Amino acid sequence: GTAIEKSKVVEKTTSRLWNAMHRYNPDAQPTVAVSGEGSWFTDEEGNKYLDGVSGLWCLNLGYGRQEIADAAAEQMKKLSYFPLTMNHQPAVELAGKISELLGASYQTFFSNSGSEANETAFKIVRQYHNQTGNPGKYKFISRYRAYHGSTLGALSATAQANRRVKYDPGVPGFLHVYPPYSYRSIFGEDPEESDLKAAQMLEEMIIWEGEETVAAFIMEPFISGGGVIIPSNKYIQRVSEICKKYNVLLIMDEVVSGYGRTGKMFGFMHAEGVQPDIVTMAKGLTSGYLPLGATAVKSEIYDVFNQEGKDNHFRHVSTYGGHPAACAVALKNIEIIENEKIVDRVHELGETKLGKLDQLIDHKNVGEVRRVGFLLGLEMVTDKQSKTPLDDSKMGEIVGKCKQKGLIIGKNGDTVPGQNNVIIIAPPLSSTEEDLDFIIETVNSVIRSL
Protein backbone atom coordinates (compact mmCIF):
# COMPACT_ATOMS: atom_id res chain seq x y z
CA GLY A 1 0.00 0.00 0.00
CA THR A 2 0.95 3.65 -0.24
CA ALA A 3 2.39 5.65 2.64
CA ILE A 4 -0.91 7.44 3.14
CA GLU A 5 -2.86 4.19 3.46
CA LYS A 6 -0.27 2.89 5.89
CA SER A 7 -0.51 5.88 8.20
CA LYS A 8 -4.29 5.54 8.30
CA VAL A 9 -3.91 1.97 9.40
CA VAL A 10 -1.42 2.91 12.09
CA GLU A 11 -3.75 5.61 13.35
CA LYS A 12 -6.68 3.22 13.49
CA THR A 13 -4.86 0.57 15.48
CA THR A 14 -3.30 2.96 17.95
CA SER A 15 -6.14 5.43 18.49
CA ARG A 16 -8.95 3.69 20.36
CA LEU A 17 -8.21 -0.04 20.58
CA TRP A 18 -6.12 -1.21 23.51
CA ASN A 19 -3.77 -3.62 21.79
CA ALA A 20 -2.07 -5.73 24.43
CA MET A 21 0.44 -7.26 22.07
CA HIS A 22 1.99 -4.20 20.48
CA ARG A 23 5.38 -4.48 22.01
CA TYR A 24 5.69 -8.14 21.00
CA ASN A 25 6.47 -6.97 17.53
CA PRO A 26 7.98 -3.52 17.83
CA ASP A 27 9.50 -3.36 14.37
CA ALA A 28 6.47 -4.35 12.42
CA GLN A 29 3.65 -2.09 11.25
CA PRO A 30 0.34 -2.75 12.99
CA THR A 31 -1.85 -5.07 11.00
CA VAL A 32 -5.61 -4.80 10.69
CA ALA A 33 -6.90 -8.20 9.63
CA VAL A 34 -10.12 -8.38 7.65
CA SER A 35 -10.48 -11.94 6.43
CA GLY A 36 -8.89 -15.35 6.53
CA GLU A 37 -8.90 -18.70 4.80
CA GLY A 38 -6.99 -21.82 5.72
CA SER A 39 -3.68 -20.81 7.32
CA TRP A 40 -3.70 -17.36 5.72
CA PHE A 41 -5.26 -14.02 6.63
CA THR A 42 -5.56 -10.80 4.65
CA ASP A 43 -5.12 -7.29 6.02
CA GLU A 44 -6.85 -4.03 5.11
CA GLU A 45 -4.37 -3.33 2.36
CA GLY A 46 -4.82 -6.73 0.77
CA ASN A 47 -1.52 -8.21 2.00
CA LYS A 48 -1.69 -11.93 2.74
CA TYR A 49 0.15 -13.54 5.63
CA LEU A 50 0.60 -17.14 6.69
CA ASP A 51 -0.36 -17.29 10.35
CA GLY A 52 2.50 -19.33 11.81
CA VAL A 53 1.23 -19.01 15.37
CA SER A 54 -2.44 -19.88 14.74
CA GLY A 55 -3.65 -16.57 16.13
CA LEU A 56 -2.60 -17.16 19.73
CA TRP A 57 -2.08 -20.92 19.28
CA CYS A 58 -5.79 -21.38 19.12
CA LEU A 59 -6.83 -21.48 15.48
CA ASN A 60 -6.03 -25.16 15.09
CA LEU A 61 -8.24 -25.78 12.07
CA GLY A 62 -7.33 -22.48 10.42
CA TYR A 63 -9.56 -19.65 9.22
CA GLY A 64 -12.91 -19.84 7.48
CA ARG A 65 -14.21 -23.38 7.99
CA GLN A 66 -17.76 -23.29 6.68
CA GLU A 67 -18.94 -26.27 8.77
CA ILE A 68 -17.87 -24.61 12.00
CA ALA A 69 -19.51 -21.29 11.11
CA ASP A 70 -22.67 -23.20 10.18
CA ALA A 71 -22.67 -25.13 13.45
CA ALA A 72 -22.56 -21.84 15.38
CA ALA A 73 -25.30 -20.23 13.27
CA GLU A 74 -27.61 -23.24 13.48
CA GLN A 75 -27.23 -23.48 17.23
CA MET A 76 -27.91 -19.77 17.66
CA LYS A 77 -31.13 -20.14 15.70
CA LYS A 78 -32.20 -23.26 17.62
CA LEU A 79 -31.35 -22.23 21.20
CA SER A 80 -29.52 -18.92 21.33
CA TYR A 81 -28.61 -19.02 25.00
CA PHE A 82 -29.21 -21.12 28.06
CA PRO A 83 -27.46 -21.02 31.43
CA LEU A 84 -25.52 -23.94 32.83
CA THR A 85 -27.28 -23.56 36.16
CA MET A 86 -29.52 -25.91 34.19
CA ASN A 87 -28.49 -28.14 31.28
CA HIS A 88 -28.58 -27.74 27.56
CA GLN A 89 -27.99 -30.36 24.95
CA PRO A 90 -24.72 -29.22 23.31
CA ALA A 91 -23.03 -28.91 26.73
CA VAL A 92 -24.19 -32.36 27.84
CA GLU A 93 -22.98 -33.89 24.60
CA LEU A 94 -19.64 -32.04 24.71
CA ALA A 95 -18.93 -33.03 28.33
CA GLY A 96 -19.49 -36.66 27.30
CA LYS A 97 -17.15 -36.28 24.35
CA ILE A 98 -14.42 -34.68 26.48
CA SER A 99 -14.57 -37.55 28.97
CA GLU A 100 -14.29 -40.04 26.10
CA LEU A 101 -11.27 -38.23 24.63
CA LEU A 102 -9.50 -38.03 27.99
CA GLY A 103 -9.61 -41.80 28.30
CA ALA A 104 -11.20 -41.95 31.78
CA SER A 105 -14.32 -40.78 33.55
CA TYR A 106 -14.33 -36.96 33.88
CA GLN A 107 -16.98 -34.37 34.71
CA THR A 108 -16.62 -31.01 32.96
CA PHE A 109 -17.37 -27.47 34.19
CA PHE A 110 -17.53 -24.94 31.32
CA SER A 111 -16.32 -21.34 31.28
CA ASN A 112 -15.10 -18.87 28.65
CA SER A 113 -11.31 -18.86 28.54
CA GLY A 114 -8.14 -20.59 29.61
CA SER A 115 -7.68 -18.24 32.56
CA GLU A 116 -11.17 -18.94 33.78
CA ALA A 117 -10.73 -22.70 33.30
CA ASN A 118 -7.68 -22.54 35.60
CA GLU A 119 -9.40 -20.29 38.17
CA THR A 120 -12.24 -22.79 38.24
CA ALA A 121 -9.77 -25.61 38.80
CA PHE A 122 -8.18 -23.79 41.76
CA LYS A 123 -11.52 -23.29 43.46
CA ILE A 124 -12.55 -26.91 42.86
CA VAL A 125 -9.25 -28.08 44.36
CA ARG A 126 -9.58 -25.98 47.51
CA GLN A 127 -13.17 -27.02 48.10
CA TYR A 128 -12.32 -30.67 47.39
CA HIS A 129 -9.65 -30.69 50.09
CA ASN A 130 -11.96 -28.84 52.46
CA GLN A 131 -14.64 -31.45 52.00
CA THR A 132 -12.35 -34.44 52.31
CA GLY A 133 -10.93 -33.57 55.72
CA ASN A 134 -7.87 -31.61 54.54
CA PRO A 135 -8.87 -27.94 54.94
CA GLY A 136 -5.20 -26.97 55.43
CA LYS A 137 -4.32 -27.94 51.88
CA TYR A 138 -4.49 -24.62 50.07
CA LYS A 139 -1.14 -24.06 48.33
CA PHE A 140 -0.59 -24.35 44.61
CA ILE A 141 2.75 -25.06 42.99
CA SER A 142 3.62 -24.18 39.39
CA ARG A 143 6.87 -23.75 37.46
CA TYR A 144 9.01 -20.75 36.60
CA ARG A 145 8.38 -19.74 32.97
CA ALA A 146 4.83 -21.09 33.10
CA TYR A 147 1.89 -19.07 31.79
CA HIS A 148 -1.52 -20.01 33.15
CA GLY A 149 -3.59 -16.91 32.48
CA SER A 150 -4.18 -13.24 33.14
CA THR A 151 -6.66 -13.10 36.04
CA LEU A 152 -5.21 -12.76 39.54
CA GLY A 153 -5.31 -16.44 40.53
CA ALA A 154 -4.11 -17.70 37.18
CA LEU A 155 -1.53 -14.90 37.12
CA SER A 156 -0.26 -16.01 40.52
CA ALA A 157 0.44 -19.41 38.99
CA THR A 158 2.11 -17.63 36.06
CA ALA A 159 5.74 -17.47 37.10
CA GLN A 160 7.07 -14.84 34.71
CA ALA A 161 8.37 -11.80 36.56
CA ASN A 162 7.61 -9.20 33.93
CA ARG A 163 3.97 -10.20 33.75
CA ARG A 164 3.55 -9.96 37.50
CA VAL A 165 5.62 -7.25 39.13
CA LYS A 166 3.23 -4.41 38.36
CA TYR A 167 0.30 -6.36 39.83
CA ASP A 168 1.81 -7.97 42.90
CA PRO A 169 0.95 -9.12 45.45
CA GLY A 170 -0.74 -12.06 43.83
CA VAL A 171 -3.11 -14.45 45.54
CA PRO A 172 -1.48 -15.94 48.67
CA GLY A 173 -0.44 -19.58 48.53
CA PHE A 174 1.18 -19.83 45.08
CA LEU A 175 4.71 -21.26 44.95
CA HIS A 176 7.08 -22.05 42.09
CA VAL A 177 9.67 -24.67 41.24
CA TYR A 178 12.19 -24.91 38.41
CA PRO A 179 10.94 -26.14 35.04
CA PRO A 180 12.52 -29.10 33.22
CA TYR A 181 14.68 -26.80 31.14
CA SER A 182 18.00 -28.55 30.75
CA TYR A 183 19.37 -25.99 28.27
CA ARG A 184 19.69 -23.48 31.11
CA SER A 185 19.34 -25.32 34.39
CA ILE A 186 21.04 -25.24 37.76
CA PHE A 187 20.57 -29.04 37.64
CA GLY A 188 22.94 -29.52 34.71
CA GLU A 189 22.62 -30.09 30.99
CA ASP A 190 21.92 -33.80 30.80
CA PRO A 191 18.22 -33.72 29.84
CA GLU A 192 16.97 -36.69 31.82
CA GLU A 193 19.06 -36.17 34.92
CA SER A 194 18.37 -32.46 34.97
CA ASP A 195 14.62 -32.90 34.47
CA LEU A 196 14.35 -35.56 37.17
CA LYS A 197 16.08 -33.19 39.56
CA ALA A 198 13.56 -30.52 38.61
CA ALA A 199 10.84 -33.03 39.54
CA GLN A 200 12.67 -33.75 42.78
CA MET A 201 12.50 -30.05 43.61
CA LEU A 202 8.73 -30.40 43.57
CA GLU A 203 8.93 -33.21 46.12
CA GLU A 204 11.33 -31.21 48.29
CA MET A 205 9.00 -28.24 48.22
CA ILE A 206 6.01 -30.36 49.23
CA ILE A 207 8.00 -31.81 52.14
CA TRP A 208 9.38 -28.47 53.32
CA GLU A 209 6.09 -26.64 52.99
CA GLY A 210 4.30 -29.53 54.70
CA GLU A 211 2.29 -31.95 52.63
CA GLU A 212 -0.78 -31.09 54.72
CA THR A 213 -0.64 -27.57 53.19
CA VAL A 214 -0.13 -28.34 49.49
CA ALA A 215 -3.30 -28.60 47.39
CA ALA A 216 -2.23 -29.05 43.76
CA PHE A 217 0.49 -28.79 41.16
CA ILE A 218 -0.37 -27.13 37.86
CA MET A 219 1.65 -27.69 34.71
CA GLU A 220 1.50 -27.60 30.95
CA PRO A 221 2.78 -30.88 29.50
CA PHE A 222 5.00 -28.70 27.30
CA ILE A 223 5.58 -25.13 28.44
CA SER A 224 4.50 -23.19 25.36
CA GLY A 225 4.46 -19.40 25.76
CA GLY A 226 7.27 -19.60 28.30
CA GLY A 227 9.69 -20.71 25.59
CA VAL A 228 8.65 -24.14 24.24
CA ILE A 229 10.13 -26.41 26.90
CA ILE A 230 10.05 -30.10 25.99
CA PRO A 231 10.78 -32.25 29.05
CA SER A 232 12.47 -35.63 28.78
CA ASN A 233 10.13 -38.61 28.81
CA LYS A 234 10.16 -39.55 32.46
CA TYR A 235 9.53 -36.07 33.87
CA ILE A 236 5.73 -36.03 33.66
CA GLN A 237 5.51 -39.57 35.03
CA ARG A 238 7.75 -38.69 37.96
CA VAL A 239 5.75 -35.54 38.73
CA SER A 240 2.53 -37.53 38.61
CA GLU A 241 3.94 -40.11 41.07
CA ILE A 242 5.04 -37.38 43.47
CA CYS A 243 1.61 -35.73 43.38
CA LYS A 244 -0.10 -39.05 44.13
CA LYS A 245 2.24 -39.79 47.01
CA TYR A 246 1.33 -36.56 48.84
CA ASN A 247 -2.35 -36.25 47.86
CA VAL A 248 -1.46 -33.22 45.77
CA LEU A 249 -3.85 -32.96 42.83
CA LEU A 250 -2.30 -32.77 39.37
CA ILE A 251 -3.84 -30.06 37.17
CA MET A 252 -2.79 -30.41 33.53
CA ASP A 253 -3.12 -27.14 31.61
CA GLU A 254 -3.93 -28.32 28.09
CA VAL A 255 -5.03 -24.89 26.89
CA VAL A 256 -2.31 -24.90 24.21
CA SER A 257 -1.34 -28.59 24.05
CA GLY A 258 -4.87 -29.98 23.84
CA TYR A 259 -6.68 -31.13 20.71
CA GLY A 260 -3.79 -32.26 18.61
CA ARG A 261 -1.16 -29.51 18.80
CA THR A 262 1.59 -31.90 19.96
CA GLY A 263 0.71 -34.92 17.82
CA LYS A 264 -1.45 -36.56 20.51
CA MET A 265 -5.02 -35.59 21.35
CA PHE A 266 -3.72 -34.22 24.68
CA GLY A 267 -0.13 -33.42 25.58
CA PHE A 268 -0.12 -35.51 28.76
CA MET A 269 -0.75 -38.59 26.60
CA HIS A 270 2.93 -38.53 25.63
CA ALA A 271 3.63 -39.77 29.16
CA GLU A 272 2.42 -43.33 29.44
CA GLY A 273 0.22 -44.17 32.41
CA VAL A 274 -0.39 -40.57 33.47
CA GLN A 275 -4.01 -39.57 34.10
CA PRO A 276 -4.30 -36.04 35.55
CA ASP A 277 -6.85 -35.29 38.27
CA ILE A 278 -7.94 -32.15 36.45
CA VAL A 279 -7.48 -31.09 32.83
CA THR A 280 -8.06 -27.48 31.78
CA MET A 281 -8.65 -26.49 28.18
CA ALA A 282 -9.69 -23.58 25.94
CA LYS A 283 -8.16 -22.34 22.65
CA GLY A 284 -7.99 -25.55 20.55
CA LEU A 285 -11.25 -26.80 22.05
CA THR A 286 -13.11 -24.56 19.58
CA SER A 287 -10.16 -23.82 17.27
CA GLY A 288 -10.73 -20.24 18.37
CA TYR A 289 -14.06 -19.89 16.54
CA LEU A 290 -15.88 -18.95 19.75
CA PRO A 291 -14.67 -18.51 23.33
CA LEU A 292 -14.96 -21.59 25.54
CA GLY A 293 -13.05 -22.85 28.56
CA ALA A 294 -13.41 -26.24 30.20
CA THR A 295 -12.29 -27.74 33.49
CA ALA A 296 -12.55 -31.52 33.42
CA VAL A 297 -12.22 -33.26 36.78
CA LYS A 298 -11.98 -36.97 37.52
CA SER A 299 -15.33 -38.34 38.54
CA GLU A 300 -13.97 -39.35 41.98
CA ILE A 301 -13.36 -35.66 42.64
CA TYR A 302 -16.72 -34.60 41.27
CA ASP A 303 -18.46 -37.13 43.54
CA VAL A 304 -17.34 -35.11 46.55
CA PHE A 305 -19.44 -32.20 45.23
CA ASN A 306 -22.45 -34.34 44.57
CA GLN A 307 -23.35 -36.08 47.82
CA GLU A 308 -26.93 -35.93 48.96
CA GLY A 309 -27.82 -34.16 52.17
CA LYS A 310 -24.56 -32.19 52.38
CA ASP A 311 -23.85 -28.52 51.82
CA ASN A 312 -21.22 -29.29 49.27
CA HIS A 313 -22.32 -27.67 46.07
CA PHE A 314 -19.73 -25.76 44.09
CA ARG A 315 -20.64 -22.06 44.49
CA HIS A 316 -19.30 -20.96 41.16
CA VAL A 317 -21.30 -19.73 38.19
CA SER A 318 -20.30 -18.40 34.78
CA THR A 319 -23.12 -16.69 32.87
CA TYR A 320 -21.67 -17.35 29.44
CA GLY A 321 -19.64 -20.41 30.36
CA GLY A 322 -20.53 -23.29 28.06
CA HIS A 323 -22.54 -21.08 25.72
CA PRO A 324 -24.63 -23.34 23.45
CA ALA A 325 -23.07 -21.93 20.27
CA ALA A 326 -19.54 -22.39 21.64
CA CYS A 327 -20.32 -25.99 22.63
CA ALA A 328 -21.79 -26.67 19.17
CA VAL A 329 -18.62 -25.25 17.63
CA ALA A 330 -16.45 -27.42 19.88
CA LEU A 331 -18.40 -30.54 18.89
CA LYS A 332 -17.98 -29.73 15.19
CA ASN A 333 -14.31 -28.92 15.73
CA ILE A 334 -13.70 -32.27 17.41
CA GLU A 335 -15.66 -34.08 14.70
CA ILE A 336 -13.40 -32.55 12.04
CA ILE A 337 -10.24 -33.33 14.02
CA GLU A 338 -11.35 -36.96 14.19
CA ASN A 339 -12.65 -37.30 10.62
CA GLU A 340 -9.59 -35.69 9.07
CA LYS A 341 -7.21 -37.60 11.36
CA ILE A 342 -5.62 -34.30 12.33
CA VAL A 343 -3.71 -35.74 15.28
CA ASP A 344 -1.89 -38.35 13.15
CA ARG A 345 -1.26 -35.72 10.52
CA VAL A 346 0.38 -33.40 13.04
CA HIS A 347 2.52 -36.23 14.34
CA GLU A 348 3.73 -37.15 10.83
CA LEU A 349 4.15 -33.70 9.30
CA GLY A 350 5.72 -32.44 12.51
CA GLU A 351 8.52 -34.91 11.82
CA THR A 352 8.80 -34.85 8.04
CA LYS A 353 8.24 -31.12 7.54
CA LEU A 354 8.90 -29.04 10.66
CA GLY A 355 11.66 -31.52 11.54
CA LYS A 356 13.65 -29.99 8.69
CA LEU A 357 14.22 -26.95 10.89
CA ASP A 358 16.39 -29.16 13.14
CA GLN A 359 19.18 -28.40 10.66
CA LEU A 360 19.24 -24.80 11.86
CA ILE A 361 21.22 -26.04 14.85
CA ASP A 362 24.37 -25.61 12.75
CA HIS A 363 23.78 -21.83 12.75
CA LYS A 364 25.81 -19.88 15.29
CA ASN A 365 22.77 -18.08 16.72
CA VAL A 366 20.63 -21.17 17.23
CA GLY A 367 21.33 -22.69 20.64
CA GLU A 368 18.64 -25.33 20.60
CA VAL A 369 15.75 -26.46 18.39
CA ARG A 370 12.89 -27.83 20.49
CA ARG A 371 9.75 -29.26 18.99
CA VAL A 372 6.83 -31.62 19.40
CA GLY A 373 4.10 -31.94 16.76
CA PHE A 374 3.26 -28.46 15.45
CA LEU A 375 4.92 -26.64 18.34
CA LEU A 376 8.46 -25.51 17.68
CA GLY A 377 10.88 -23.24 19.52
CA LEU A 378 14.25 -21.90 18.40
CA GLU A 379 16.39 -20.75 21.32
CA MET A 380 18.37 -17.82 19.89
CA VAL A 381 21.77 -16.93 21.36
CA THR A 382 24.69 -14.65 20.50
CA ASP A 383 26.95 -17.73 20.46
CA LYS A 384 26.68 -21.33 21.53
CA GLN A 385 29.46 -21.12 24.10
CA SER A 386 28.14 -18.31 26.27
CA LYS A 387 24.44 -19.01 25.52
CA THR A 388 23.83 -15.29 25.94
CA PRO A 389 20.23 -14.69 24.86
CA LEU A 390 19.78 -12.75 21.64
CA ASP A 391 18.51 -9.31 22.63
CA ASP A 392 15.01 -7.94 22.11
CA SER A 393 15.91 -5.81 19.10
CA LYS A 394 17.53 -8.73 17.24
CA MET A 395 14.52 -10.91 18.08
CA GLY A 396 12.18 -8.20 16.83
CA GLU A 397 14.22 -8.03 13.64
CA ILE A 398 13.74 -11.76 12.98
CA VAL A 399 10.00 -11.55 13.57
CA GLY A 400 9.77 -8.37 11.45
CA LYS A 401 11.74 -9.86 8.54
CA CYS A 402 9.50 -12.93 8.49
CA LYS A 403 6.50 -10.65 8.41
CA GLN A 404 7.92 -8.73 5.48
CA LYS A 405 8.09 -12.06 3.67
CA GLY A 406 4.48 -12.85 4.56
CA LEU A 407 4.97 -15.09 7.58
CA ILE A 408 3.78 -14.36 11.11
CA ILE A 409 5.85 -16.08 13.77
CA GLY A 410 5.94 -15.54 17.52
CA LYS A 411 8.46 -15.23 20.28
CA ASN A 412 8.20 -15.69 23.99
CA GLY A 413 7.59 -12.40 25.70
CA ASP A 414 8.06 -11.31 29.29
CA THR A 415 9.29 -14.71 30.41
CA VAL A 416 12.40 -13.72 32.30
CA PRO A 417 13.99 -10.28 32.12
CA GLY A 418 16.49 -10.47 29.28
CA GLN A 419 15.45 -13.95 28.16
CA ASN A 420 12.84 -13.29 25.51
CA ASN A 421 14.89 -15.16 23.00
CA VAL A 422 12.80 -18.09 21.80
CA ILE A 423 11.25 -17.97 18.34
CA ILE A 424 7.92 -19.80 18.40
CA ILE A 425 6.29 -21.50 15.44
CA ALA A 426 2.87 -23.11 15.89
CA PRO A 427 0.96 -23.16 12.59
CA PRO A 428 -2.65 -24.32 12.20
CA LEU A 429 -2.86 -28.10 12.39
CA SER A 430 -4.67 -28.05 9.07
CA SER A 431 -1.80 -26.28 7.26
CA THR A 432 -1.13 -27.74 3.83
CA GLU A 433 2.26 -29.22 2.98
CA GLU A 434 2.89 -26.14 0.82
CA ASP A 435 2.12 -23.92 3.82
CA LEU A 436 4.64 -25.83 5.90
CA ASP A 437 7.25 -25.62 3.12
CA PHE A 438 6.70 -21.86 3.02
CA ILE A 439 7.30 -21.62 6.78
CA ILE A 440 10.47 -23.70 6.56
CA GLU A 441 11.88 -21.73 3.61
CA THR A 442 11.07 -18.36 5.14
CA VAL A 443 12.44 -19.11 8.60
CA ASN A 444 15.54 -20.69 7.10
CA SER A 445 16.29 -17.73 4.87
CA VAL A 446 15.69 -15.13 7.61
CA ILE A 447 17.83 -16.92 10.19
CA ARG A 448 20.59 -17.71 7.70
CA SER A 449 20.73 -14.02 6.80
CA LEU A 450 21.56 -13.03 10.41
Residues that bind ligand PMP (CB under 6 A): 56, 113-115, 118, 147-150, 220, 224-225, 253, 255-256, 282
Give least dist CB 348 to ligand PMP, A: 25
Report the candidate in 31, 71, 29 with the shortest Cα–Cα distance to residue 51.
31
| Rounded Cα–Cα distance for residues 415 and 146 (Å) | 8
Q: Name which of 72 and 256 has its Cβ closer to ligand PMP.
A: 256
Q: Name which of 399 and 447 has its Cβ closer to ligand PMP.
A: 399
Give least dist CB 204 to ligand PMP, A: 25
Q: Could you check whether the bond before residue 169 is cis, i.e. omega within 30 degrees of 0?
A: yes
Q: Name which of 116 and 368 has its Cβ closer to ligand PMP.
A: 116
Q: Name which of 56 and 450 has its Cβ closer to ligand PMP.
A: 56
Contact, 164 vs 151, CB < 8 A? no
Give least dist CB 95 to ligand PMP, A: 19
Angle between helices 89-102 and 324-339 (to 10 degrees): 40
Give least dist CB 249 to ligand PMP, A: 17
Q: Name which of 36 and 288 has its Cβ closer to ligand PMP.
A: 288
Q: Name which of 114 and 227 has its Cβ closer to ligand PMP.
A: 114
Give least dist CB 339 to ligand PMP, A: 26
The radius of gyration of the chain's CA atoms, rounded to the nearest angstrom, is 22
Residue of minimal Cβ distance to ligand PMP:
114
Report the candidate in 69, 445, 166, 124 with the shortest Cα–Cα distance to residue 298.
124
| Rounded Cα–Cα distance for residues 282 and 15 (Å) | 30
Report the candidate in 226, 262, 219, 225 with the shortest Cα–Cα distance to residue 242.
219
| Rounded Cα–Cα distance for residues 75 and 332 (Å) | 11
- Give ∠ CA 361-364-365 in degrees, rounded to 5: 85
**Paired sense of beta strands 214-219 and 174-177, if any:** unpaired
Give least dist CB 151 to ligand PMP, A: 7
Give least dist CB 11 to ligand PMP, A: 27
Report the candidate in 389, 410, 391, 390 with the shortest Cα–Cα distance to residue 399.
410
Q: 3-class DSSP state for residue 237?
A: helix
Q: Name which of 203 and 277 has its Cβ closer to ligand PMP.
A: 277
